[in-house]
Chain A
């Protein structure tokens, strides 16, 4: 469903990704873990083209987003194709990025109306159903600033789902939340995983990675150190760096 091969990315002179490859199958929930600065968020952002890569290939559902020829020339597809391909993915950010000038319901309806050209009446029932699903229908007319962090993140998930993506990317979705609020967001994500949503989750929540993800990818210093089924990786990490990281985290 997603195939990223040999991704290289640098910021200025700093190499952030040094040849990362990642395959995600349909319906799979993959957790990416690793220390800060290991490049896991950057990898996620490259997949949905919030960052441009310097070398490598990315394919989304069989369609190339970017490829690199033998001469090392990295080429993205045309803008319109890029938008179409990236539209198959939704993204949930650490800092939510809700639109503060719109109510909760308007936040969810905005993109279906503006991007897909749907009429408000056509999308409203679905937007409300999504709010119901994340347990926030009562907040439909509130503005984001009046919500708690956990509520904001659940709205952000509903907003991403309103565009009916095939794949959802989560960039540290609970890192900006108070510990007692992470549970409600993780529960929502667990529901999605049980519905076999294809998910890639960059997270520091080891319990979530262990219980919800089918596969866990451990990254360090811009490379994938280890990528294995969650139970195996947590039970018996192969690489010393993975072991050291898990010991610190658990």
Chain B
């Protein structure tokens, strides 16, 4: 028990880093993903193709590689080259990567809304922005909750990748103690922390699904 109390502070500190990466990524990647999806579906062919290429790039290369690239290689690129500290590097990589996945979820959701909804809104005088904001997107949210829940839970666990930038997230903190004390208990504690986070998320998404269950499509 004493030992557990001893290793908890560093693990809690690690959890704080993990949670920060998680919350900031989610807060930025969801709106960015929505914007990308709308561009992808827009009638501007060039922008749509550009977003398509972007999504291919982000889904086609490992997140860890993207993170290493932004931290180590970006400073040497002319014009856009900028040297970012480790935490911002990780955030930029996570946001860019997850926005691509969220964009595809939003796109699928938006495309699942029938033409009749757009026509119904149009003959009532609504413009594109009003139709999206008031009619289409509220219905999209209900439909994309299951894949969003999946992706969000994956994000919790993907945060452990930031160890490559030598940041002390939950998993790296646990590994440090394991190597120092020759005990695997910290791994068990870390697993419990991850499970707790996903439990909260699962519960949250279930609540949302219940909320949206008041109507049928």
Between A111, A143, A159, A163, the greatest number of chain B beta carbons within 10 A of the residue's beta carbon is seen for A111
Residues 93-126 (chain B) with a chain A CB within 8 angstroms:
116-117, 119-126
Chain B contacts for A101, CB-based, 8 A? 138-139, 142, 215
Task: Give the docked Cα–Cα distance between A91 and B126 (Å).
Answer: 13
Instruction: State the A residues within 8 Å of B (CB).
Output: 48, 50, 83, 86-87, 89-91, 93, 95-101, 110-111, 114-115, 143-145, 159-160, 163
Residues 177-214 (chain B) with a chain A CB within 8 angstroms:
214
B117–A115 CB distance below 8 A: no
Contact with A along B136-156 (1 / 0, CB 8 A): 001100100000000000000
Residues 19-71 (chain B) with a chain A CB within 8 angstroms:
none
Q: Contacts A115-B130, A145-B216 given: A163-B135 contact, CB under 8 Å?
A: no
Task: Give the docked Cα–Cα distance between A100 and B139 (Å).
Answer: 8
Chain A contacts for B126, CB-based, 8 A? 111, 114-115
Instruction: Write the nearest CB–CB distance from A77 to chain B, whole angstroms.
Output: 15
Interchain residue pairs with CB less than 8 A apart (15): A48-B123, A50-B123, A86-B123, A87-B125, A90-B124, A93-B120, A95-B116, A97-B120, A100-B216, A101-B138, A110-B134, A114-B134, A143-B215, A145-B217, A160-B123
B135–A99 CB distance below 8 A: yes
Chain B contacts for A50, CB-based, 8 A? 119, 122-123
- Nearest B residue to A145 via CB reads B216
Q: A96-B116, A143-B216, A145-B215 are in contact. List 6 more A-B contacts (CB 8 A).
A: A50-B119, A86-B125, A93-B116, A93-B119, A99-B121, A163-B125
Task: Give the docked Cα–Cα distance between A163 and B117 (Å).
Answer: 17
Chain A contacts for B119, CB-based, 8 A? 50, 91, 93, 97
Task: Give the docked Cα–Cα distance between A90 and B124 (Å).
Answer: 7
Q: Contacts A99-B117, A145-B216 given: A83-B139 contact, CB under 8 Å?
A: no
Q: Contacts A50-B119, A115-B130 given: A100-B217 contact, CB under 8 Å?
A: yes
B130–A114 CB distance below 8 A: yes
